Structures are given as C-alpha cells and as structure tokens.
Structure 1
Amino acid sequence: MTETARFQSFDDPSHREGAARIAALRAAMAQRGVTGFVVPRADEHQSEYVPPHAERLAWLTGFTGSAGTAIVLADRAALVVDGRYTLQAAEQVDTGVITPVPLAETSAEAWIEQNLPAGGVLAYDPWLHTPDGLARIERAAAAAGGCAEPTSLNLVDLVWIDRPPAPRGPVVPYPAAFAGEDAQAKLARVREALAKGRHDALVVSDPHNLAWLFNLRGSDVPHTPLPLGYALIRREGRPLLFLDAAKVTPEAAAAVEALAERSGPEDLPGALDALGAAKARVRLDAATGAVALRRRIEAAGGRVDVGPDPITAMKAVKNAAEIAGSRSAHARDGAAVTRFLAWLGREAPQGGVSEIAAVARLEAFRAEANDLREVAFPTISGSGPNGAIVHYRVTRGTDRTVRPGELFLIDSGAQYLDGTTDITRTVAVGPPTDEMRDRFTRVLRGHIAIATALFPRGTTGAQLDSFARRPLWEAGLDFDHGTGHGVGAFLSVHEGPQRIAKTGTAALQPGMIVSNEPGYYRAGAFGIRIENLVLVEAREVAGAERPTLGFETLTLAPIDRALVVPGMLTDPEAAWLDAYHARVRETLSRLVDDATRAWLAEATRPIRG
C-alpha cells in the first residue's frame, strides 16, 4: 500500500537528539544558577493539543503523548506519564538520559521530593502551570529542602534554536444554525453566573470556552478548531477579547465587534493590571488559568478566586441544534467507518493492509463526507501487540501489517462542521482465539451496561464507571483508563467536566455527550476497545420516585460479531446488540454503496440468529 493520509503525519518521533538537548537545557540551567527545570506537556492554556511552537516536551524528550511531565536535574531526569503512555514513553525516549516513570508508581511531585537535592532550586515557567499544580510542585520542593522559582523565559525556548513561530490560523464565525444560541445570550448567562458568585470579572483562559462563548472557530492547533486567545468578561461593561489581529477574518471581526472590544494579546497584561487596580474580584479557571495570570492581577491589587470557569459547564450541555448536528455528523461518519470496515474485511485477510494504509483508507472515506474539517485526533491504528498500547500512534518505524490470527484496533474521530465524533472498533482478522472472544465479550458486556444504564439525576461518572468493569473484574481483569470522556460540539474531542471514570465527580446532565469505551489490553499480544458516543437524556420510568436519566447511543457502526460469544450474553444484552445493529443497518444502508450495503446486512445479523 502506498497511500498517505490527508490529515495525519507518520513521522517517527526522534529521541536520537535527546542527550544533546538535555545537555543544552542543563547548560542553560547552570547559567541561571538553578538545579532543575520542570517541562510539562502544556501550552499557556493547558490545552490537550498544542501548537508546534509549544511542543516543548516532545522536542526535548521525543515523547509525543498528550500528557506527561519531565523533570530535568543536573544529574538525572525523569518523564512521568500515566497508564495510557507507559509503553509509548519507554519506546520513544532515550532511556540512557531520561527515565520513564509510571504515574501509578510515582507522581511528578513525589519524584521531585525524592530527587531534588537539599538547597536545590527547581525552576518553572509560570505560564505553563495552574495555581493548584504549582502548589503541589512547591510543596514537593520544600519537602526536599529546596524551593521552586519562576523563570522570566522558558529555558527550553532558550535552547530550541529552530522553534516554530506561533500559529496564525484564521478565526471565523461559527454558523448560528449549528451553534444554536447567539453569543449575546451566552454572555448574559455568564454575567448571571458572575453576579451569583459575586465576581467582578472572569478571565477566559480556555480557548474552547472562548470559541463557544463568542461562536468562533479557528485553526491554531491540530485536530481542534481553536483560536488561541484570551477574554475578560466583566459583570458590567463590554467584554474584552484578545486575539492576534492578523488571524481575525473580516467576518469574525464584524461579529465580535458587535459584542466586545477587541485587542491584541500584547494588551492582556495591561487589562489585568486595570482589573487589579480596580480591586476587582476575578474568577480564574482552575483547570486552564496560568499562575502568571493570577500573579499579574494580584500584584496590581486585585483578588483572584481560582475555581471552575462557569462557561465549561454551560458548554457541556448541548442545545437542540448541537444535538441535531451531532446526530447528523454521526450518521455520515458511521457510513464512512462502515465503508472502511467492509474494505478491511475484504483486504486484511489477504495480508496487504498495514496500520498506516488503514489510517489512510479511513481518512479517504471520511473525506468524502460533507463538512469534514479535520480528524479529531491522530488515529490509533494498532494491529496485534500494537493494539495493546492504549494511545499508540503508528509511525513509519513502527508500522506493521495486519496479519491473520490477530486483532486490529482502530480508534478514530472526525471534526465535522456540525459535530465531533469518536469511535473505536476492534476487528478479528481471520479466526480469533477463545481468549480473544472471551475478553471481547466481557468488554462488550461492560459497554452494554453503560449504554443501558438508568440512573437518578445527580449521578456522577464515578458512580457509573464500575458498571463497565464488572464483567472484567469477575475474571480478575481490568483496564487502566477511564470508561468515558466528554465530547464537544465541533470542539474538543475530550471535553469536561463530565466523564465516566473513577475520578468523574461531575453530575451527568441531559444534553451532555460522553464516550462509552471499556477495553482490555494484554501487553505484547492484543488490545480490545469498543467505543461509542452517548447522549445523556431524560427517561420516563414507570413508578419512578426521582427524575431518571439514561443514554442515547449516537455512534453508528457494526460491532464485530465474530468476536462475540453469544452464550456469554444475557438475553437483555443480546437484545440490545441486535437492536443496535438493526438501527445501524436501517440508518446507514441508504448512505453506503451496494457492496458495503451487502456487507452491512451480514455484519448486523442477529447474534443468536
């Protein structure tokens, strides 16, 4: 296969320069008299996907995951990553100079406490840490007998000679037909929240919230249509919006100027000083607000209240237009994924499909769908043992052929103008083993348990998480990631505050979209994950004494019947699978070609038929 993907790069992450780059950073540390430097995987907005000029952790270490923290001392360095990236980190970094550390064993703060020498000065960039995150680092440094100090310039930037420039992707208005609520009405809701919290102003540091609030979209970061910038929403007076003028289109400028005063990013510090001088009480987002913002306001005399940005909760509850758009996007996306699965079923058993070729083919099918803008994240295309790497990213160096007798896992998503999708399917190439079928069926039963759950209003994702794990727990098995994350409306594929996970503390509300994706991974052998997106909705339950919620499944694509052990399913579970497949068949048959339609009919037959 010689296909290349339209949206995704397969360049190999290089750790060959890791030793030289760590050495250069240590030289910069020595020049400034500091003992260590913290390098989080973050930009000034704590974004999941960051622009190339903010990929400091990847440049320094070779690690390309979406979360991690490096701590570089004069004589040692560590890269702390969570369970998604344990295998990936070990493969990507030069372990001769950087030690990968699983978060489950040691946090970044614990590593600092154990390794920072007494009297040591640990430097950090105040734009890349939130107040809560920095407080943990400061406590760890103090416990080690040292201290943490800010730098005026990021030390990685000083040694990153060929650092890319900041992005200037065009900022455009988001059509009202898809947004479903005009920006003026959204601003009124935010001001009500400020009044309720007795805040004089809100610093909007999360670009997702900025985009949602002003009905704007951009292209400053990969995979998410974000315009990078800030806003100040005052309880009284017009909002202030800080965007690089060079990237604001005339249409966006006209839309914004009817609502807010617009300035460049260079004017933000002065606006923060003015808030401080007015003794304003300012809400700063705990999740994305940088320490630098807090310190600027407080230095000028203001009071900063660190807590949730109220826009985050508003954005999470989708309105009727956003829900309709998501349903429409999922139907088109389901057709593209089904065409891909039919193609894979024909080609993979012949041994001619590589992981990269699979990504390219899926992206080609998606490109034929209306209103596709980008892939929502780098596609996880893992065959055999690569499928066991939870956030595996195929490169030209790791690419392998999908082989008969193996499982193939593909986790992908798309950004359409009317919605964001995220779907994972695991497919058997040739006859699967009994173990594969057992594990798959347990994962499927957990998936069905979430899909069919009924729960009272006020239930959190943490309370539902074990539903997905019970079939695995019964066999002494588990998985190390959350069961589900929130999803935006033509915004981030990973959106809070809602999530189904052990740490999911936000109550689920009607209109929220979350993923349902239990899995199982046997290192060195195979990975299994089944993911659909679901919409929280109100449910009528006869005799119910409390308001009850449930889920509507939005994602539409077949689940591999060859991997299901029918006898392991209860009658209600089998009925759910058959009903889901009937809906998939009915919805998608009119959207696919004749050959795919025939394949779809076979792929969605009743499981016990």
Structure 2
Amino acid sequence: MSPAERLSALRAELARQGVDGVLVPRSDAHLGEYVPASAERLAWLTGFTGSAGLAVVLPDRAALFTDGRYTTQAAQQTDPALWERRHVTEEPPADWLKAHAAGKRVGYDPWLHAEAGLKRLEASGATLVPLDSNPVDAVWTEGRPAPPAAPASPHPLEHAGRPAAEKREEAAAALRDANEDAAVLADAHSVAWLLNIRGADLDHTPLVLAFALLRADGTAELFLDPVRVPPETRAHLGNGVAVRPPDALPDALRSLAGRRVRVDAESTPAWFARTLRDAGAVIVPGDDPCRLPRARKNAAEQEGARNAHRRDAVALARFLAWFARAAPGGRETEMGAAERLLAFRREVPLFRGESFPAISGAGEHAAVIHYRATPETDRRIGADECYLIDSGGQYLDGTTDVTRTLWTGPGEAPSELRERYTRVLRGHLALSALRFPRGAAGPHLDAIARVPLWDAGLDYDHGTGHGVGSFLSVHEGPAAFSRAAKPVPIEPGMILSDEPGFYLPGRYGIRIENLLLVREAEEKLPDQAKPFLLFETLTLAPYERRLIEPAMLTPAERERVDAYHGRVLAEVAPACDADTADWLREACAPL
C-alpha cells in the first residue's frame, strides 16, 4: 500500500471501531525508545523512522509530532499532503487536539501509552477511548516482521557487579519501607538489570522484552515465553524467580486484589493500571524501583565502562587515522565510512554490536541531527567539508557513545566553521570540567554547555546529554542534561553524555560528544559546606584540530584540550599499530 492508502485504510478501521481518531505513538508495550521491527507502527503509517514521535489521525486531517532532533527528518520522510508536521514542544499534541478534536472520541492502545502521558492529553477536551485491539495492526497485514523470539541469556556477575538476588532484596526492602506489596516492572531495561539477564530482541540494545512483578518478599515473576528461557538461564535466575508465559500476566495482576502495588505512571502501559483497578488492587504511584539504582553504576560497572572505552578508543583511533588519509580524495561515502568504523570495532574484544545505528553525515546531512544514511540518501564525502560521525559500541562490560565532527581537507576550514566549532568545543569543555554541589540536576547544568553559543546568539534544539546504561541502552534515564528533563539529582556512578552542537540546515552540522562518569570530588575547598561532584571523562578520542580556533580559547581551555589530548595519546597509542600511533601523536600535539 502507498502512504495514502495506508492512511485511508486506517481511517476505515477507525470508523469500524466506532472512534473519530487514534493516537499512534512510536513505542511498544515496554514504552522504550527502541522497538522491534514488528512494533514500528508509526514508521509503517507515516514513513518517519525517528526514535520518538506521535501521530494523531482524524477523519479529515492528520498530524505528526516530533521533537527538535527530528524536524528536518520528518519533513524529508513524510508527505505534506497527508501529514501536518508539528514540533512537540512548540505545539504540543494536547493543544492540537483541543483545536481539532475537542468533543471527539479518540482511540488509543492502552499497551502503548503511559497513564501520565494520557492525562496530559485529556486536558484537550477530546474523549480518550481505550481500544481492545490496535487499529494499525488491523490494516498492517502485509510484510509485517515477526515479533522477536531470541532467548534470554545470563549477564555474568563479573560484568554485572552484583548478584541478582542482592538486587531483588534491595528493591524489595524499598517496597517494604513504603508499605507496598509489589511493583510492576514494564521497562525491559529494569527487568534485565534486576535479574542480570540480557537478550537480542532489539538490534542495538541487548534486551529481552519481558515484564516482571517484584514482590516485597524479594521474589519475582518473569513473564516471558518459557521456551525463551534455556536451562542455563533458569539456573541463573534461581529459585526466587518464577518464569510465567505472557498470557499469565492478567491473572497475576488479578491475584493482587486488595494489595498495594507500585506502578510508575510514566513508564508503565496504562493497561496495567486499568487491570489492577478492575481487580481491586490499590495502585501506589511511584518510581520504578530499579531505575535509579540501575543508573548508579557499581564499582564493577564503572571499571567495565573505563575498560570498554579504552578498547573502543583503539577502534576510533584507527578509524580517524584512516579517515584523515582517505577523506581528501573524495571517494568515500557516508555508509562506507560507517561500515569502516564498524569493521574496526568488530575486532575489539567483548564487542557485541553497535549501540545504535551510526549517524554518518557529510555537509548538509550533518545538519540533520539524527540523520541516517540509506542507499537512497548516501552520498560521497567531499573534500573541504564537515563530516559528523556519531556512533557507539555495545561491549559485555560497557556501552559507548561518541561523536566527532571532522574536516575532510585538504584545504583550510572556513573561519565561520572554526568559530562555531570552537564555541561548541568551549561548551563541551565547560561541562566536563564542572565541579558542582550534590543535589544539582541535569536541567540545572544544561545551560553550562550553551553559554558560548548563546554569546553569539546561537543554540541547538536538543538536550546536552543523556544517561547511558551498562551493556544496556545507550539512552538511559532518569538523569539528563536537558531543559525538558525531570530535575533528578545527578549522583555518583551515573554515566551521562556531554554533546553540545550547532546545526545550520542545508549546510553543515557540528556536534562533539564524550561520556562522563559522575564521581565524588575528593578535594574539599576551605569554605565548602556540602559534598561536591565532578566528572571523569571516559571517551578517548582527539578533537578536530583543524576546526579549533586557538585564539578563541582561554588559557584554561587550551590547557584542558592539551591535557585531554595528552591523556588520549598516553592511554590509546600503546595499543595501536604504528601508523595509527603516528597519526595520534600528530592529532594530540599541544595546541
């Protein structure tokens, strides 16, 4: 079916189900950022392939809502005759619904929406109707991929750092302290972390897509097809974890009648709360009990992250040295360059795959914040232009994510480009060098990286950084450097990205990204009245010297760049081949 035919078929199905419209989010039943191919309903319907978005379909109009990362991409991938494109913060879906759907019945799949999100939409005046079956599923009948069915596998203790039984008891103690009997775990990341299991249900995130119930006595039920739990995984789970088929979930929830059950309204499908209420359970709103402990990496996970980044740095150095030689010839393509980096990473011990599809964009494509090269868009990387490569690896002991913006040469970069790259670099350095009081949250620190751009009237339309998991998702909550993030205090052990940027549509894009590990500041200043924190930089890759304007850097900033490059050279070069080490010595020379 063509895009127009798909939209027409969906509208016919809505009429059959007796509703005036429908919400189509980019999510699955676990509400994660990444979904299996079988759950890519939004992409199938609209053509938009970004990792966040919401479509609203009415009989006479339809809108696609995306954030600032995807405005350009949405415009490129969707038909304006079919879809209105809207910025999700500048014109929220609730406002659009109020203008166009007040008084109408708008359906939704209760497995694909959190209650908190639905409550925000109810203010629109539209009547939100939970549907028994998803209308997109009714019309997506051709070429739909099968649901994932990979087995669950144990995550070794040497990498997890703590036994699953210990984690369960700690989380259960939190439930007991709150006088709660159980907690629903719908986030597959929490299930994976709590039970020390991993899987292959998603392309770039090692998850098994499962639900769990954690009880206050420390026992848990894992809802997953028993066929997908091989004997070694059952032995790993131990006697405290019962494996149940997914169709046992409704009865398990009904068995909680009269019990106090914690449900995270932001990360749990609305179906759970509805089922529990119907059963007579008492729903206690609260955070997923695994989310914050998962973000605070233990000592083994921290050391694993350091080790993974050191090994990843060798692959990065090999790629950057190769690119420096190959790019001026103008023969390489965006997809070819990304494949070359992946080939280098495949040679790294403990590598299990990319942590997300590499963003490999040259020139105007680099200005598309989450650009993804396809055979249709792939182009040659020309001489004397900007090239942005944002990529990462999944290793058994850690997850990496790094962005570098490169000048292809052989000529000199224009002064405008150097000036803007240097402003981005200054903001990146300022955040990484920050020393801040415990209790500060991501929204409080986001502006630190923007000040050099703001000084010139410039900005970027995305958060400055996100949390990163430990052989889990490259995007992990609850903390983030973002004006839109919840004010969750940053705590020791968290890993966050530091990635300011600047994008000039149609011409170029700049982003510089390192991962930072939060640590206690051991040195106490004379008048310091409370604990302070600082960042340890995990990523080890040189900045693009040809895009740095040294005259714009303060002496302290120059010293930071030189010190960082000195560290990269000392830690990475000894593990590299001779040619790469020679390139590193030149790339890391003092400014």
Amino acid at match of 2:174: A
Q: Hey, what does 2:280 align to over in structure 1?
A: 301
Of stretches 233-242 and 35-44 in structure 1, the one that deviates more from structure 2 is 233-242
1:520 pairs with one of 502, 505, 526: 502
Maintained 8 Å contact 1:446/1:469: yes
What CA distance in whole angstroms lies between the structure 1 residues aligned with 2:139 and 2:199? 30
1:161 matched to 2:144? The reply is no
- Trace 1:15-414 onto structure 2 (pairs within 5 A): 17-116=2-101, 119-140=103-124, 142=125, 146-162=126-142, 163-236=144-217, 238-275=219-256, 277=257, 279-414=258-393
- The residue type paired with residue 241 of structure 1 is L
Identity level (%):
49
| Aligned-pair CA distance for 1:330 | 0.2
1:425 pairs with one of 382, 404, 414: 404
Equivalent of 1:561 in 545, 552, 555: 545
Aligned to 1:226, the other structure's residue is in SS state: coil
Structure-1 residue corresponding to 2:524? 541
String of CA shifts for 1:264-295, please: whole Å, max 9, x gaps: 111011000001x2x01111122321110000
Counterpart-to-counterpart distance in 2, 1:508 and 1:470: 21
Counterpart amino acid of residue 541 in structure 1:
K
In the aligned structure 1, how far is the partner of 2:174 from the partner of 2:469?
21
CA offset digits 1:459-492 (Å, max 9, x no partner)? 1111111110000000000111111100000001
Moved over 3 A (4+): none
- Please tell me the residue identity of whatever aligns with 2:496: V
The Cα shift of 1:259 comes to 2.3
SS in structure 2 at match of 1:310: coil
Structure 2 unaligned segments of length 5 or more: list them: none
> 1: distance between equivalents of 2:552 and 2:480?
28
Deviation at 1:503, TM superposition (A): 2.9
- Decide whether the 8 Å contact of 1:256 with 1:262 is kept in 2: no
Q: Give how far 1:389 is off.
A: 0.6
User: Shift of residue 168 of structure 1?
Assistant: 0.7
CA contact (8 A) 1:581 1:605 kept: yes
Q: What SS does the aligned partner of 1:600 have? A: helix
For 1:232 and 1:592, the matched residues in 2 are separated by: 47
Asked if 1:550 corresponds to 2:534, the answer is: yes
Is contact 2:518–2:533 with CA below 8 Å preserved after alignment?
yes
1:501-549 residue CA offsets vs partner (Å, 9 max, x unmatched): 1134111111110000010111111000000000000111331222111
Q: Which amino acid aligns with 2:138?
A: L
In 1, are the aligned partners of 2:466 and 2:497 still within 8 Å (CA)?
yes
Q: Distance in 2 between matches of 1:171 and 1:119?
A: 46
Q: CA deviation at 1:311?
A: 0.7
Q: Secondary structure at the match of 2:323?
A: helix
- 8 Å Cα contact 2:421-2:510 kept in structure 1: yes
What TM-score do the two structures reach when normalised by structure 1? 0.95
Structure 2 SS opposite 1:232? strand
Distance 1:428 1:306 in 2: 50
Deviation of 1:99 (Å)? 1.5
SS at 2:387's partner residue? strand
Instruction: Name the SS of the counterpart of 1:135 in structure 2.
Output: helix
For 1:446-461, list aligned pairs within 5 A: 446-461=427-442
* Letter aligned with residue 573 of structure 1: E
Query: How far apart are residue 121 of structure 1 and its match?
Result: 1.1
Equivalent residues of 1:286, 1:309 under 8 A apart? no
Q: How many residues align?
A: 585
Comparing 309-318 and 540-549, the one that deviates more: 540-549
After superposition, the Cα gap between the structure-2 partners of 1:322 and 1:101, relative to the gap in structure 1 and judged at 3 Å, is: same
Counterparts of 2:509 and 2:149 in 1: how far apart (Å)? 39
| Cα deviations by residue, 1:362-396 (Å, 9 ceiling, x for unpaired) | 00000000111111111111100100111111111
Quote how far apart the aligned CAs of 1:237 are.
Answer: 6.2
| Letter of the structure 2 residue corresponding to residue 25 of structure 1 | L
The amino acid of 1:498's aligned partner reads: A
Shift of 1:119: 4.0
CA deviation vs aligned residue, 1:319-367 (integer Å, no higher than 9, x gap): 1100111001001111101110111110110001110001100000000
Alpha carbons of structure 1 residues 299 and 578: separation in structure 2 relative to 1, 3 Å = same
Distance in 2 between residues matched to 1:500 and 1:19, nearest whole Å? 39
2:467 aligned with 1:482: no
Q: Structure 1: how far apart are the matches of 2:408 and 2:11?
A: 49
- 8 Å CA contact 2:169–2:217 kept in 1: the answer is no
Structure 1 residue runs of 5 or longer lacking an equivalent are: 1-15
Structure 2 SS opposite 1:266: helix
> What code does the residue aligned with 1:259 have?
G
Question: 1:172/1:560 Cα in 2 relative to 1: closer, same or farther (>3 Å)?
Answer: same
Larger CA deviation: 94-103 vs 557-566: 94-103
Q: 1:168 touches 1:246 (CA, 8 Å); kept in 2?
A: no
Question: C-alpha distance in 2, partners of 1:350/1:233?
Answer: 58
User: Hey, what's the Cα distance between the residues in 2 that align with 1:136 and 1:523?
Assistant: 32
Are 2:205 and 2:473, in contact at CA under 8 Å, matched by a contact in 1? yes
C-alpha distance after superposition, 1:208-264 (max 9, x if no partner):
000000000011112100011111111136211111112212211111143211111
